[in-house]
Structure formats: C-alpha cells, structure tokens
Chains A and B, each alone.
Chain A
Amino acid sequence: MPVSRRSFLAGVAGAGALATLAACANGGAGGAPQTGGRLRAAFVAGGAQETLDPHRLPQFMDQARAKACFDTLGRWEQDMSCTPRLAESWEPDATGTRWRIRLRQASFHDGRPVRATDVLYTYRRIADPATTASAAALFTGIDFAASRAVNDRELEIVLGAPNHLFPVALGSYGSEIIPEGTTSFAAPVGSGPFRFVSFTPGGPALYRRNDAYWDGAPALDELEFLPVADESARVGALLSGQIEYAHDIRATSAQQLASDSRTQVLTAPGAAFQFLYVKHDRPPFDDPRLRQALVLGLDREALARVALLGRGQPGNDMFGKGLQYYPDAVPQRTRDVDRAKALVAESGVTTVELSTGVTDPSWPAATQLIVAQLAEIGLTAQVRNVPPETYFADVRKNATMHFSRTGTLPVQNWIATTQLSSALTNSFSKYVDPEIDRLHAQALADPDEGARAAAIGSALTRIHDNIASPIWGISDWIVGVHGDVKGLQGFRPNTFDWANFAKASLG
C-alpha cells in the first residue's frame, strides 16, 4: 500500500528550514520561463472512488488537482501563517467575531465573476456535515444566518465565538471556492490557473492553461495528473522521461535521482512529524513514570540517522518545529538511560505493546530501533503489525503505544483537532488537559499577536512536559522532477506552494 495523503496530513520543519527551502529551489536565475508543453505529475491516488470535489480531499493528488482548478481565499505559507490570495484583504472587528473580507477581481472558468455569494455558498457547503468535508471543523464556527454578502466583492462573516485566527481557515486545503449552486463535480468549474479538460476516476486528469487567470496565465499549456501507486514505478517513469514530476519519493530513491543528470530532487526539510503515541487513559502508560521513561529512553539521534536515512532530524515531543508560534526556547529532550531505567523499575512494568505498520517507510526500521532502545531501559516491547488501510482507525481504539505521523498544519489547528478535550474521541493519546483548552481559547480570543504566540507556546510546552504527543523525529518531504522543470521548489505538503504548478515551466 502506497503512502497516501490520508495517512499523512499535517507536519513541519526545523530551525533554519526556510533558508534550506530556498536552497532547494530550482527556479533561480536564468530569464523568463519557457512557455508551452504538458507537465505530467505522478502521485499516489485513491482509485475508482476518486472525485473532483475540492472539499473532499482524502489523498495528496486530490489536493493537487483541486489546487490546479480552484482558488482559496488565503494561502498557507511555509511557516503555516496565512496571507491573502483570492481575498484582497480581511479585517476583524475588535471582538474577533465579525470579519470583513474583500475579494480580488477574478472570474470562474465559465466567465462568471467570483462573488461574495459564491464564498458564502462554499463555506456553508463545507460546514454541512452531509458533505463530510476535509476542512469542515474550520468552518463550523460560522453563523451563516448572520453572515452576509455586502456586495459582489465584499462579505461579512460572523462567528459564534471570537477567533482572531479565523483567516487561517481561508488558506486551508479543502476550502476552495466553487460557484454558487454547484452540486456536481463531473466537469468542475473553478477560478484557478488551469481549466478542467478530462478525468477518469482512478486514471489521468487533464487540465489546460487558464489564459484569463487573475494572477497571470501559467507557462504550461497543459497539466496532467497521473496515478502511479508504486514508488519505484514513479521513479522509473521519471528517469525514463514518462513524467516530469514524481511526488513522495523515498530517501533511498532520492539518492539515485540526485546522482542522475536527467533529474533533480526537491526537498522540504522537516515536513512530517513522526509520533510515538501512548494512551494516557489505560495501563501501562497511565503511569507518568513510564511515559517519562519512554521519552528519556529514546535515542532520537540514532532514529533520525537510521530510520529517516539522514533525511530528517530528532523530534522534541512538540508539534510544529519551524512553524509560526512554536516555542523554540524549550530545550531538546535527550537520552538518559540510567534515569529511564530507574523509572521503569519504579513503575514495575516489564512488557509493553508497540503497534506499527508500513504506512510510513521509516516505521519498520524505527520499530527495530525502538524495541532495542526500550530493551536497554528494561522494557520488552511486543510488536503488533497493523495493516495500512485501517491503521489509524485501529490504533486509535486498540493500541497502547503506536506510531503515527502528521504533515504540516498550523499549530493551533493541530491543537484543536488532536489536543482539546472536545477532540477526545478522535485523539490518539486520550490525553485531556483543560489548561490546554483554556490556552487555545485565549489564543483565539486575544487580538494581540504576541499574547497569542505566548498562549500557543505555553500549550505546546505543556504538551511537551506532559508527554501528550511524543515525537521521535521530523522527516523531510521529497519530490523528484525532470531536469528541465523550472519554477518549483521543495515545499511542505499542505502549504499553498506545494504541488502548485501555476508558475512551473518545462524550460
């Protein structure tokens, strides 16, 4: 089972990552991009059940296709801050409950202008539980009865509670603006850089340049998305010139592509967080001494070097390194075998269960290492293998200790979806801390950016101190592209620029 977007979702980078990102750029100096041609991009795809509904994006390829055809009001930058995109500006009232949004002058592919009513229709559809939209949680706080279109290019959104971070929702994947009244996505109409041409579920999707795009027509004539589930097949297709973009490449293949003159490797450092969750609500990890022993017993340097094949860095048990609001001052947790041994002995526990799988290519090696590292502190780990297609549903219910991973997301969104008391049924650790709820609510309600950063930083620090989400490593995200491709860089998945071909060219 190939690595999928559904098994990834959300994650981030290390210090200095932005500088490294810039170093990975391939669109540097060299004059104007060459226009024309078809860029073929291969991703893992979802098979016959795929649709082009931009609000249901279970796979990375769904997200990339939506990005080609549609626009979002905002854009998620590499640090997960959000800046205006299709929105020209947004402004809250003093309470943070009433947001005035002004739209750019833009039009859908059928010539109709993008209007405020389209935006309201879109967000109402996303918030509707029947849509089962990927970004539903970000829009359920809107009071749609009170929200209104001020005029065609201006709208007022009213929230049920103060939220000074509301604009972050406007840049989310799965919040693409659709024309009012759209119910079918068989031939989708958006306002994005490419127009829909054809699509076969589980097969290719073809798009053509939108010459009327408000941000300038793309250099490419055509953009084709191809499903290639097997990673070695994507690498082979790239090396033989059958495709120009191969998404989600393993560290071992990156070595091969980097040494081949026909291809180049684009790396987004620190793009996926590697967790080792433990359940707080049941034995044996309901004992804080055992949790402490676990995080002190991990040799994170070795895990990053071996399991991540050197394309990653040690984690510090907090989500969001390199992202907005991350508290850099918290010291890196390091290994202390003696202390860990003593804590294990105090707890009286000798055997623990470790659930793992092949959802991420680093997990099999990480499993071996962690079993050996736990043995050094006096714990015998019994490994339980869980199949990839039901991995997350299974471990959420049954595991006491398990691997997980998350891609890049705004830190506050990650807290809201995994760490708040209201998220308990969906939580991997079953950790509940009302103080985190309070800090999160305070961050949303506070108009002062500094106070907001302090509140979110405090919440992350509590998560670190209480071992709510142990993170053993942060892995890079790797894409392979043909040597002629220009205008792309190593971007973190879920950000606006990742898998965005609006500025790409074939020379």
Chain B
Amino acid sequence: MTGPKRALLWCAGLALAAATVTYPLYANGYYLALGISVLYFTILATAWAMFSGPTRYISLATVAFFGLGAYTAAVLGETMPWPVVLLAAAGVGAFTAAITGLSTLRLSGIYFVIFSFGLAELIRQLVIWYEVNIHKSVGRYLFSAVTQDILYWQLLGLTAIVFLVGWLLGRSRYGLALRAIGADETAASHSGIDATRVKLGVFILSATFMAVTGAVMAPRWTYIDPAIAFNPTISFQVVIMALLGGAGSLFGPVLGVIPLVLLFEVLSATLPNHFSIVLGLIFVLIVMVLPNGVIGLFGTGRWRVPTGGPVAARAGTSDAPLLAVEGVSKSFSGLRAVDDVSFKVAPGEIVGIIGPNGSGKTTLLNTLSGALKPSSGTIRFGGIVLNGLRAHQIARLGLARTFQLVRVMPDLTVAENVAAAQLFSTSNGSSATASELLDLVGLGTVHAAPAGDLTYIDQKRLELARALALQPRLVLLDEWLAGLNPSELETGIALIAKLRDRGFTIIMVEHVMDAIRALCGHCIVMNAGCVIARGGPDEVLSDPKVVAAYLGDDDA
C-alpha cells in the first residue's frame, strides 16, 4: 500500500471514530436509539462469534447471559454504585458460564445447540420461579440516572473492549488452539491442546461480555420482567447477524449487525405483524446463499500464524527405559482387547508392533497416548506414570502419535497444523523449526494450503510433521506406511530411518513387513490382545506361533 493511500485510510478511520464517539451530540432520540441497538448487537454478535465462530458450537444461550446481566442490574442497580453493578453482572455471567460450560462443552454438534437453547429457557423458568415464590412479584422497576447518551458511550466503550479482546485472542495461541479444536478436537488434544480448558475459557469470556451488555442495557427498559430480559428472539437475532456478517473473523459480525438492525427497524415500523415471517425468510436466504457470511465474499482473512519454537528430539538422559509398559489390559465390557501386555522401549530404539487385524495393536497405542484409559496395569514414560493422564497432558510430556485413519485439521493451513502442536510446548531444545519440519517430511512448498486439500499421502506426512512439532521423546506411528505405493513406501521408510538417526524413539504399528525388517530392532507380536512373541524381526517372523496367527494353523 502506498504512503498517501495509507494516510487517507487513517484519516477516514479517525473521522469515522470521531463521528461514532460524538454521535449522541448530533443525533436525535430516534437515531440515538438506533445507534444503541447497533452497538449492543455488535457486542453480542462479536462475543458470540468469539466462541462459536472457530469452534462451530452454535450457541443459543446468548439471551441467558444477557438476561442474567440485566437482572443483576435490576436487583442491585438502586443500592450499589454502577461500576460495582457491572462487575457483579460480569461475575454472574462468568460463574454461570463456568458451571454450564463444565458440564456441557463435552457435548458437541446438535447436543450443544439443544442444550444452549434449553439453558436460556431453564434460566428464565428458574428466575420466574424465584421471583414468584421468593420475591413475590414478577417484574422489577429500575430507576437510574443513566441517560441515553451515557448508555451509548458505555456501550461504545464495551464495543472497543470486545474488539480489543477479540483481536488479542486471535493473535494469541489460544486463538489458533480454538480453531484447531473446531477443526478436529481429537487431533488437537493429541497435539497437546487442553481442549476442555481452552473451550471453557473462551466460552466464559464470551458469556461475560453478554452479561455486561445486559447490565448496561437494563436502565433502558425501566421495567424488567423475565419475558423482556430473556426474550429468545435476541439469541436468534445474534446468530443470524453473526452468520450474515461471517462468524469466522473478528470484524465479520458487525457487517451483519448494521444492515439487519436497520432492516428490523424498518420491518417493525412498517410490517409489525409479518416481522417473524420476514426474519425467517432472511435467515433461510443467508444460510442458502451466503454460507461464509458477507466477509466471505472478500476472501477469508487468515490469522497470522504464531511462529513456534525450534524443534528437536529431546535426548534421553540415561539408559533407563524411556517407556515401560507393565501388565496393561483394556476391556470393553467383557471383551479383552489388550490382555496383560508388558514391554520396554529404550531411548533411540524403533520398536515394531505387529499382529493380525483385530489383535489389539491400535487399542494398545490408544492406552499409551491417552485416547483410552487402561483397565489395569501401569505405563511409565520417562519415570512418570501415564495412567489417568489426559491426551493433551501426555502429548505435552513428549509422547506424540499419528492416527491409523489420518486426522489433520482440514480448515487450517499446513503450517497452522504444525504450529497448533507447538502452542503449549514446554520444552526448550533446539535444532529444527516448523518450516524445517515441513521440509523434512517434504511439504515445504505447500505450507500455506488448507490441510484438507492435501492428498492422502501428504496428509499422512503432515500428521507426522505435527507429531514431531511436539518435540516428542517418543513417536507412535499407527500404520503410517499403510496405503503408500512402492516408491512412496521407499521414501517413507527412508524418512523414518532419518528420524531414528536424529535420535527420535519410535513405536510403529505396521503391516508392511519390509519396513519392519528394515527399521525395527525389536518387535512385539500381538494376537487376540496378548503378546505371543517378541525379539528381532527375522526371529519373530519365522516363529511358528506368529505364522499360525497370521495364516492359521496347518490343520485349519
């Protein structure tokens, strides 16, 4: 962008900001009220998109938090100073979001939509019940000295804060973490992201803004009852505005708020009876025609990728086994998928786990990576007992994995996929950066492409790069070579050998026996959940028990 053009944009921006701040000084009552509507929907829609945009958890609980804020203001407004009231509203919103979030954020998709929908109704019912039985009156009066001008400026300040917080969040590692969770929650937690905590944190943040907005808006009504404060239409309007503008970016929602607030204003003035028909038709049109919102028309603005730290294998410090598995079993209601398995892995070693399909290999890996909890037995990793730790905790300890059915985060770019695994890395070794890792697996040239556009093979490479980005001491490869053609297989084997030379310790579940022979020093053969043989590859592959397990007995 050229100098004069940039200066012109700055001037325009400043003029707009000045016009917005001084708006109450020249706008009359009607237009001021319209400005207030635009501002409060901007805050609600931006706060909504802060959580629901990246995670795609469609929340219909906006009005639950908004209403709680308004009620807090109605209850405390006449006895407490106004800043205390706003703080109390923020506290009530955050507290309610924490409680409901803790119990519901593990629900995804439709379950979350329904629950958030019900939450607003539930809170409204509880408030009504309280007001009728304890307070003995359904409505409350709130007389305060807050004029329309002051209300406008309060909302303007809150708008500035919500944009600032949203901008900071987008730049921080939590922003990328949230998008990684939205793209593939399992892959995200195996990349060391504490999905529950990140989701809960942003949910609380978003709810806090909604509650404060409710409190700021409360004086506008003078009389408040649950039907006003918890009007479900607000939740729907917020969703449709954010979607129209585009929930995937910070400034998307506001592009939906302005036209829709104006349209609703015109509609309720001219066609009050047909308001909801028109609202519904607009809703249908937006979903059908503008799936990415108005801002999607201008191309999606990608967030800056935080540059991760350098990456290397963390060297083992002693001769003690890196991984010690002792008597691990995993049962699924009667079926023992893994039965009393014990083995050790020394630093720098490649251990192969082989066995027929259904012999429990992937289940064993799942107990190691924290995807499943072992029913009994102990897993020690570098001296730390892994039993009971969650996937992201195990990943952060330096135990990375790939998945048998490849899992990349499709909407994130290749580079972001790798960066996601470096967000919460705690170690500080040094030898390779994220782009070096992509070069290592042969993806250096496509780092800006969405991961979902990669071919199957390249997605597998990306998964490996993502696993390595955790700076793992141990990498679990679950049939990483499956589905490769002969020349790709050769490259793949060479790549794993290169990793071994760099000092990575690897456990590979594999059916490609050439790879097992070429790479593994030690093999474990599983059948029906048990270890039936162990030793060098040539040794175990000629073991009659192993041959029988793969091909059946002679007399079968």
Note whether A and B form a binding pair.
no
